[in-house]
Amino acid sequence: MKNKKLVFIAALIAFITVIPAYSQQSPLVLDSMIEISVREAPASQSGKEANPPGGGGAAFWVSNSKVPNDIRMEILFTLNRPIDARPYQYIVFDMMGDTWAVMNDLNEHYPRFRNNDTFVQFQGSFVFRKAIDEQLNGVDRKWITVSVPIATFNIHENRSSYQGAMNGMNMFLLRFIANRPPVPGRIYFRNIRLQVQP
């Protein structure tokens, strides 16, 4: 009887520790299902480049993206179909500037998820600035990885709209607060994905 109990306990521990690893949501890479544009910056340019200067394959890019007479930069990614973003806990992306100055100009970051006009915004400033300061350290044309929590504990704005925005999310903004003077250069994004783990 004692041996049966031990076998049962061992099987239960295996079930608790192993099964969740298989049932976790796989990362959802969005690059092939999004189009890039820039909001409220008429002089901006954007597109997709097959061979960006940092290597590593195709990437989205933007330039002259600051809102005139403001310090905001709002890069819009529109999905070709709505998705349910609620199972995911992080938005993760690789980012690079073709100069150090254009990256160092960015101080704050607030990802915003939208279902048409319904939105919820998350706080990403600390992890974003930490990635720049620790991963770049003054270097240009080097990819960094940014991982921002998109769970309810990290909501920055519009908490009551979380369910409506994330269930049927069809666009998201990577919103940045920069310094006021314009800084020339391109900013690149690639491997944009939603993940359960950072």
CATH at 155: 2.60.120.260
Strands 167-178 and 72-84: antiparallel
Contact (CB, 8 A) for 49 and 189:
no
* Domain-embedded: residue 187: yes
Per the structure, the count of domains in the chain is: 1
pLDDT of residue 24: 67
pLDDT of residue 188: 98
* Domain-embedded: residue 4: no
DSSP-assigned beta bridge partners for residue 48: 60
* Domain-embedded: residue 151: yes
Taking the C-alpha atoms of 69, 71, 74 and 75 in order, what is their torsion angle to the nearest 10 degrees? 100
pLDDT of residue 3: 56
Handedness of CA 42, 155, 133, 70 (dihedral sign): positive
* Domain-embedded: residue 116: yes
Residue 85: give the domain boundaries: 26-195
* Domain-embedded: residue 17: no
* Domain-embedded: residue 69: yes
pLDDT of residue 15: 45
* Domain-embedded: residue 122: yes
**pLDDT mean values, one per 10 residues, the chain (198 residues):** 50 46 76 98 96 94 96 97 98 97 97 98 97 93 97 98 98 96 94 96
Contact (CB, 8 A) for 64 and 44:
yes
* Domain-embedded: residue 102: yes
